[in-house]
Structure 1
Amino acid sequence: MSIPTFSASTTADEVATAFATEINGRNVLITGTSLNGIGFETARVIAKHANLVIIAGHNAERLKLSEEAIKKDSPSANLRTLILDLSSLASVRKAATEVNAYPELLHVLVHNAAAALGPFRLTEDGLENQMATDHVGPFLLTKLLAPKLLATSRGAAGYVPRVIFVSSISQANGSGVDFNTLAHPDPEKYTSLGAYSQAKTANVLAAIELTKRAKGRINAYSIHPGIIYTNIYMKKETIPDLQAVGIIGPDGKPNTQFQWKTIPEGAATTVAAAFDPRLDGTPGAYLSDCVEANKDLAPHSSDAVSPPFHSSSFYTRNDILLC
């Protein structure tokens, strides 16, 4: 099979077209699929070829709008909506129970949803909101859906299901995951961008460790999608933090000194991580611009450091078991 060369300007549609054969017949669950976001674009292009695309989000009205937009683009698309609030462990458990009851196999799980930057906020479970939404919720959802993914691995000869964590280049910031603030959130130590970096580091470590523990039965990948002006950048509580680091200008518009991607370009790496057959040779990899980019990982975001930030330590403490 001849696969085109991908780059920063490759679009999600181009990647999905290149891997149409790999997507054909697959069932995919994608979180964070509101309009004007990369999760929506990921769902839209995959739905053109897949057997089933499950779009998940916490707002039923927004899910309906996304469903209608995808159906308008691809009338034959087979979609299913799933109410899922990743900041609530009860909601995650309820959604996982629903998905596990679906008769279809689950081939790909894409963790795309993320909380907006902003002031310190605790969830109903007493967790810091960004870490809860960006990592702990996806972590629990993966654990609860692992048996379904493993059943897919057993049921499809030669097929290895995939789990994709949409991380960020911000995984390179800070010094890793602070377990004390993870277990006991402290508003005095909180910074919005610091919490974001910790959650994105945890995403990378999750992909590495899940791949190891699955022993060839599930392949997980983390990605940096690029800098994209999506709906999350337009939230009132997010803008001051982005202005503080210069990504957004005083006028609230993107700073052109940064290399921005369009939403179709931003979703491309997710689609590549989910379906590029060449990645079978590098399970657990971190991707950027649709290709493996482990060289861009900070030491605390890889396996090459000592506890307490070693991923094996992290996931022993967080109890992910595949059996």
Structure 2
Amino acid sequence: MEYHRTSHMDYFQHMEPKQGKMQQVEDRFDSGVDSLNSEEYNRIVEDMNQLVVSSSDVDRNSFSCEEAWKSVLTEDGDTYLHLAVIHEAKDYAIQIISQSIKDPFLNRQNNQRQTALHLAVITEQPHIVERLLKAGCDPRLVDDNGNTALHIACKRGSMTCFSVLTQINTQHLRSILSFSNYNGHTCLHIASIYSYLSMVENLVQLGADINAKEQCSGRTSLHLAVDLQNLPLVHQLIALGADANSLTYGGYTPYHLTFGRHNSEIRQHLYERTAQNLRELPESENEESEEESMSEDECMYDDFQFGGK
């Protein structure tokens, strides 16, 4: 298995809003695996083998966060736990987790600020996600793109990891659902962008704010659904209680974003639900709407934009 580093283009797709087209940005995850030659890797495997002991031989009081193996790092900042998760070495990962319960070691972040929890979601290992959470791994920690593990599960459409993350140690779930990554997107925004309809419904039922605005331009998930020309998503969000009169920071309703786009059914559906006084484009924007719409869209998907700055 090979993982590659993520560029600052983040994990998301880029969009040409007027055509509703999506340009795929390749997922690139690595955490230093490529930097290990065979000799180094074999040495690490040998060291990890020495950690495997029978439960009868374990004196839990003899293990502490000062153990030497817990301080070993690769050049990319990966611990043995990171590497065990990356290589899907389940037995090694479970052994390390069992020796690190409630230990800050579980929350160590590599050079990309990924915890073992992030990597377990990326590699689709829900059983490891569950063990990490029960052992004390903090689900609020973010990687270098500002994503929690739940953000990544929503981006990848991983319902198994999503279910574990939203059902175990849920005391921080509300804050995670309201948290925006460095693109200004909440988990609901991400699930909407990728059109994971069941995940969108689950997030709203769990308490995600359906009218939350992404931080750059103030678009809600309903605005994003119009950008994507995704009729089923538009129907679902409205059925779940999305506000058709919500305004972006530029004063646009979701209906305004149907102008110049091909799906007349979306336009009619939103027209009927938009207040009469909000159906016209803002007067000062009529002539410049095309230019400003593009500018807003560029801001929306610009990874170097945060909070509109």
TM-score by length of 1: 0.29
Q: Which has the higher relative contact order, 1 or 2, with Cα contacts under 8 A spaced 6 or more apart?
A: 1
